């Protein structure tokens, strides 16, 4: 009950149950606890839980442990106290699950029951599975969570926008022009490289804050802005905003009313032909008019009753919007799908965890009593426009740690997947992490680039993930060209055991939701990474609670953590230089023709590094930690750099996380 989960998850493991109990009318059986237990629980809570959940169980960065939202999830016939107790003792405190005693976990459970209206009794709460298995969080009438919106919502003025652009041709050509930043990773190749060179190593020390925009939602902020024709589009958990990209003055704001608390981060939008498209935490795909923010259409595409939700930025090609659901740790059966931009109707779907009878289903050999899942999609897609191939990074299988229970190779999890854009048919795949028992998602399938490698000009794709490896593959021959470690590796092949196995990178290590940038002039890949080792433990008793973390074990995080920016030769895989941060590096990296790499730290510092040496050429404190996007673009002939900062999530925090903010920089004097 300390700290909140990974960026791709809602704000707290303990109460992140998104298999939502829509009806809660049946009688509920209670379990007795004593006043002494709840009082002891209060003292334990202050030490282990209040930092994230707040002093009153409702005021922290993690989800509340009392009140309507908590009761709607747990005061229901479908949730027992045994479920709640299991999640508590295997997951909490954050990064130290299972480290409290049985009596301490029971005392914390007693506190939660009392704060949710149940009176103490004469008999103490005990860890009796039969008793807890029939007991419920007792309230007179649980509120229940219901979708406030129907499955489909059409805009009041129809589905045709008044806004225009960017066009299909503009999106395909953005890599060669510096005015705009049109996709989450700038272009279809995911290069995160801009040809702008107004800001250089020689004048970057003259960067000044041009303006700042306060987003106004105090939740996880990992947004990667996009910019078109002087307008920047930003997302928070449920808000979508357009601002002037030179002055930060707001143009419009649209607020989606969601069915669940806004705990899940949203990483951005896709834009095309006057439309702004995003996903929501309650599973909708939403299209807005780019000129006004007016709703055009919205469709419920993900099933939150199974734990599915949308956190990634979609990608648009022609009339197709590509997107998929998080969160693999909940045991969802991952997929990616294409929807028509015009009206949001589904065109095709590819199941990353195959259905029975589909190719790949034979690679799941679990016992019939073991639910299977994983293969979430929560990080950027890339696209080869010439060959019309879509590249997808698929996340871990579930249950995460007990690989023996899953059986087989569990396709297509932890794979780089190439799909035909028009049909969704599989072109090829490469499974990067075999028999994963550490939750080592593949997170990146970009940049796509062309370079001379092993004496031959090749079309390459860079992949990276939470296992801390950068792997480059020939997109023609499918040959693995090189692989390079970008963070500390230790004990990676040792099996996870019940007694504990320490390995690096840890469960939150390696490359997270922001991936490599490719600087074509320097011929380097620049990669941010996390260095945070973990001790992994298998559970003797693996329990599936829908909508909760389905790890099959627990973790204890090291107290020491750091981060790296690693520059890797794009032809040889050799390391050119490294920059060390005292905190994990999870913000974006952006390379420019000005000889710079822009990035930012969880410490709140925005940095400009020399692309040739990694030397720091500029540093500015943003006032809040940074784990979101960094983009550069041009308005009226002037180059700007925009940085997202604020509260990244409870997993990645400092003493002063800051409010969600976009800070825009430009050279003092304009040039």
- Do 461 and 558 lie in one domain? The reply is yes
Q: How far is it, in rounded angstroms, from Cα 134 to Cα 76?
A: 11
Residue 9 has which token pair?
A: 């998850």
Return the pLDDT at 670.
64
> Which pTM was predicted?
0.89
Q: What is the pLDDT of residues 624-667, one digit of tens each?
A: 999 999 999 999 999 999 999 998 887 776 656 789 999 999 99
Which one of 102, 134, 166 terminates a domain? 134
The reply to whether 160 and 120 lie within a common domain is no
> Given 134, 163, 191, which residue is the final one in a domain?
134
Residue reference for tokens 């087989």 = 408
What's the CA gap between 433 and 481, in Å, rounded?
16
Domain with 87, as residue range(s), is 35-134
Partners of 577 in beta bridges:
567
The per-residue pLDDT for 261 is 60
CB neighbour burial string for 380-405, b if at least 16 within 10 angstroms, e if fewer: bbbbbbeeebbbbbbbbbbbbbbbeb
CA atoms of 352 and 329, how far apart (whole Å): 14
Is position 12 within any domain?
Answer: no
pLDDT at 24 over 50: no
**pLDDT for res 137:** 84
Confidence of residue 146 (pLDDT cuts 50, 70, 90): low
Look up residue 194 and give its DSSP letter: E
Please report, in angstroms and rounded to a whole number, the separation of the first and last CA atoms in the chain.
50
- Please indicate, yes or no, whether residues 552 and 425 belong to a single structural domain of this protein: yes
d(CA 320, CA 386): 16
Tokens of 52: 């994230």
For 421-464, the pLDDT digits (tens) are 999 999 999 999 999 999 999 999 999 999 999 999 999 999 99
Nearest to 416 by CA among 463, 482, 485: 463
CATH classification of the domain holding 433: 2.140.10.10
Calculate the CA dihedral of residues 659, 664, 667, 671 and round it to 10 degrees.
Answer: 180
The reported pLDDT for the residue numbered 563 is 97
Q: What's residue 55's pLDDT?
A: 84
Where is average pLDDT lowest: 173-177, 199-203, 305-309? 305-309
pLDDT digits (tens, 9 = 90+) for 99-132: 999 999 999 999 999 998 888 999 999 999 888 9
In a shared domain, residues 59 and 110: yes
| Spatial separation of the C-alpha atoms in residues 379 and 586, rounded to whole Å | 12
Bigger pLDDT: 327 vs 239: 239
Q: CA–CA separation, 195 vs 278, rounded Å?
A: 27
Q: Is residue 26 part of a domain?
A: no
Mean pLDDT of 78-107: 88
Whether 339 maps to a domain, the answer reads yes
H/E stretch holding 70 = helix 68-74
Task: Please give the Cα distance from 100 to 108 (Å, whole number).
Answer: 10
Same domain, 80 and 175: no
Q: What CATH number does the domain containing 82 carry?
A: 1.10.760.10
Same domain as 102, residue 177? no
325 close to 340: Cβ distance less than 8 angstroms? no
In this structure, are 246 and 301 located in the same domain? yes
Asked if 209 and 100 sit in the same domain, the reply is: no
Q: Is 571 in contact with 514 (CB distance < 8 Å)?
A: no
Task: Report if residue 140 sits inside a domain.
Answer: no
> What b-and-e string marks burial along 563-590, b requiring 16 or more CB atoms within 10 Å of the CB?
bbbbbbbbbbbebbbebebebbbbbbbb
Lowest mean pLDDT among 78-87, 287-296, 581-590: 78-87
Kindly give, in sequence order, each residue whose CB lies less than 8 Å from that of residue 101, ignoring residues fewer than 6 positions away.
Answer: none
Side-by-side strand order, sheet with 226-228? 226-228, 231-235, 239-244, 250-255
**Which of the four pLDDT bands, split at 50, 70 and 90, describes residue 26?**
very low
The answer on 503 and 406 residing in a single domain is yes
What is the per-residue pLDDT across 248-258, written as a single tens digit (0 to 9) for each? 999 999 999 87
Residue 30 inside a domain? The answer is no
Are the beta carbons of 189 and 446 closer than 8 angstroms? yes
Strands 638-645 and 630-635, by their bridges, are: antiparallel
Residues in the chain: 671
Count of structural domains within the chain: 2
* 97 within some domain: yes
Res. 144: pLDDT tops 60 = no
Least confident of 83-97, 406-420, 650-664: 650-664
Q: In this structure, is residue 623 part of a structural domain? A: yes
Query: For position 18, what pLDDT does the model report?
Result: 34
Residues 424 and 377 in one domain: yes
Nearest residue to 407 via CA among 371, 350, 365, 465: 365
Kindly state whether residue 27 falls inside one of the protein's structural domains.
no
Of the residues 134, 169, 200, the one at which a domain ends: 134
208 pLDDT exceeds 90?
Answer: yes
The CA distance from 205 to 610, in Å, is: 12
How many beta carbons lie within 10 A of that of residue 556, not counting itself?
18
Q: What average pLDDT is seen over the chain?
A: 90
Output 103 or 175, whichever has higher pLDDT.
Answer: 103
* Reported confidence tier of residue 8, pLDDT bands at 50, 70, 90: very low
- Does 111 share its domain with 162? no
pLDDT at residue 143, as a whole number: 54
Q: Please name the residues in contact with 374: beta carbons below 8 A apart, sequence gap of 6 or more.
A: 328, 329, 331, 332, 333, 334, 353, 395, 396, 397, 398, 400, 410, 413
Q: Do residues 103 and 188 both lie within one domain?
A: no
Q: Does the pLDDT value for residue 220 go beyond 90?
A: no
């Amino acid at each position: 009950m300390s700290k909140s989960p990974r960026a791709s998850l809602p704000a707290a493991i303990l109460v992140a149950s998104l298999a939502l109990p829509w009806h809660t009318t049946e009688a509920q059986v209670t379990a007795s606890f004593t006043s002494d237990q709840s009082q002891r629980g209060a003292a334990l809570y202050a030490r282990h839980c209040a930092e994230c959940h707040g002093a009153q169980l409702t005021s922290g960065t993690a989800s509340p442990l009392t009140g309507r939202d908590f009761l709607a999830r747990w005061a229901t016939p479908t949730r027992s106290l045994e479920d709640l107790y299991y999640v508590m003792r295997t997951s909490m405190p954050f990064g130290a699950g299972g480290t409290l005693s049985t009596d301490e976990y029971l005392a914390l459970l007693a506190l939660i029951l009392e704060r949710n209206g149940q009176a103490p009794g004469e008999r103490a709460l005990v860890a009796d599975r039969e008793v807890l298995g029939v007991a419920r969080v007792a309230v007179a009438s649980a509120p229940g969570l219901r979708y406030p919106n129907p499955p489909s919502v059409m805009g009041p003025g129809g589905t045709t926008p008044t806004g225009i652009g960017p066009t299909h041709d503009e999106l395909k050509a953005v890599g060669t022009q510096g005015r705009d930043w049109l996709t989450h990773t700038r272009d279809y190749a995911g290069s995160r490289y801009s040809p702008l060179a107004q800001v250089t190593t020689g004048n970057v020390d003259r960067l000044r804050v041009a303006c700042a925009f306060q987003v106004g939602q105090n939740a996880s902020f990992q947004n990667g802005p996009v910019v078109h024709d002087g307008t920047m589009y930003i997302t928070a958990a449920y808000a979508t905003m357009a601002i002037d990209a030179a002055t930060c003055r707001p143009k419009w704001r649209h607020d989606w009313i969601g069915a669940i608390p806004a705990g899940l981060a949203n990483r951005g939008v896709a834009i095309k032909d006057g439309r702004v498209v995003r996903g929501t935490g309650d599973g909708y795909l939403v299209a807005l008019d780019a000129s006004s923010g007016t709703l055009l259409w919205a469709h419920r595409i993900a099933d939150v009753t199974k734990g599915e939700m949308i956190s990634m930025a979609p990608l648009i090609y022609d009339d197709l919007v590509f997107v998929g659901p998080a969160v693999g740790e909940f045991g969802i059966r991952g997929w990616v799908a294409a929807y028509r931009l015009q009206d949001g109707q589904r065109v095709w779907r590819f199941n990353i965890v195959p259905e029975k009878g589909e190719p790949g289903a034979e690679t799941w050999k679990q016992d019939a009593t073991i639910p299977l899942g994983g293969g979430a999609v929560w990080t950027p897609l890339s696209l080869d426009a010439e060959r019309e191939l879509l590249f997808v990074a698929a996340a871990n299988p579930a249950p995460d740690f007990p690989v023996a229970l899953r059986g087989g190779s569990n396709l297509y999890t932890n794979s780089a997947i190439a799909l035909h854009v028009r049909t969704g048919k599989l072109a090829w795949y490469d499974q990067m992490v075999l028999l994963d028992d550490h939750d080592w998602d593949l997170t990146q399938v970009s940049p796509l680039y062309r370079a001379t490698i092993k004496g031959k000009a090749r079309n390459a794709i860079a992949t990276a993930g939470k296992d801390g490896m950068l792997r480059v593959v020939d997109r023609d021959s499918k040959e693995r060209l090189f692989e390079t470690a970008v963070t500390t590796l230790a004990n990676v092949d040792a099996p996870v055991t019940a007694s504990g196995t320490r390995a690096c990178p840890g469960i939150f290590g390696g490359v997270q939701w922001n991936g490599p940038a490719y600087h074509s002039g320097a011929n380097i890949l620049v990669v941010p990474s996390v260095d945070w080792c973990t001790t992994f433990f298998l559970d003797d008793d693996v329990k599936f609670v829908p909508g909760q973390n389905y790890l099959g074990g627990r973790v204890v995080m090291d107290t020491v953590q750091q981060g790296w920016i690693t520059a890797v030769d794009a032809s040889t895989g050799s390391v050119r230089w490294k920059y060390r941060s005292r905190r994990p590096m999870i913000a974006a990296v952006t390379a420019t023709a000005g000889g710079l790499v822009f990035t930012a730290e969880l410490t709140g510092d925005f940095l400009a590094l020399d692309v040739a040496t990694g030397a720091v050429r500029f540093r500015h404190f943003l006032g809040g930690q940074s784990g979101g996007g960094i983009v550069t673009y041009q308005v009226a002939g002037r180059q700007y750099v925009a940085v997202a900062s604020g509260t990244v999530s409870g997993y990645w925090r400092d003493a002063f996380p800051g409010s969600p903010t976009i800070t825009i920089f430009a050279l003092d004097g304009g040039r």
